Amino acid sequence: MTAPLLTRRVEALESAFRHIARSRMAGVPILHPSLAVQAVGFAPAPAEAGPPGVALGVLITPWFMNLVQLPLDADAAQALPQPGLSQALAIGDWRFDFFGGEEEGLGRYAAASLFSPMAEFVDQAAAVATAREVLLQLRPVAPVAASVVAPIAVTAAPPAEPVPARRGFLFGRSNAGAR
């Protein structure tokens, strides 16, 4: 897979959903006026996150935020669930139900809902930050060799109130009782 192919596919995804926003979704009351269609963090999916030839990322729209499997070739597209059907998929410690979809100018894709509607987001920056955090939780972090790890000085005092864990915050769980 080449970077230009991934770029073209992401542009097609955004274009298809911008068209949906202007046509089928125009005037629907759940549209968040401060949000726009934006693809975030699309990259080749890890082996457990779909068939070969699939990119994984988050699609933000004024009406939803979905984790999207975006096929990069015809074989990968055929391996995704057919439009209207779902397929459960474990990515790391999380399980998602991906529903197949197909749009003119884009072709087949699969999406798992993260947020809908989008009323809890103040603006596009908050939605993008959340999308990036979701992807950080789902993508494995490459280990860092011990020889390049430098100690970090902590200069700020710990928070007085417990801070929810990122995973708990993103997926609706609280650790308010934990310290």
Residue 10: CB atoms within 10 Å: 19
The residue-averaged pLDDT of 147-168 equals 42
Q: Select from 3.30.1460.40, 3.90.79.10, 3.40.50.300, 1.20.120.920 the CATH code of 3-138.
A: 3.30.1460.40
Q: What is the DSSP string of 93-158?
A: TEEEEEEEEEETTTEEEEEEEEESS-TT--SHHHHHHHHHHHHHHHSPPPPPPGGG-------SPP
pTM of the model: 0.78
Mean pLDDT of the chain: 83
Distances (CA, A) of 121 to 20, 27, 37, 60, 115: 21, 19, 14, 11, 10
Write down the domain spans for the chain.
3-138
Q: Using alpha carbons, select from 14, 24, 30 the residue that is nearest to residue 62.
A: 30
pLDDT tens by residue, 40-98: 999 998 877 778 899 999 999 999 999 999 999 999 999 999 999 999 999 888 999 99
Structure tokens that stand for 174 in this block? 């609280």
Does residue 122 or residue 46 have the better pLDDT? 122
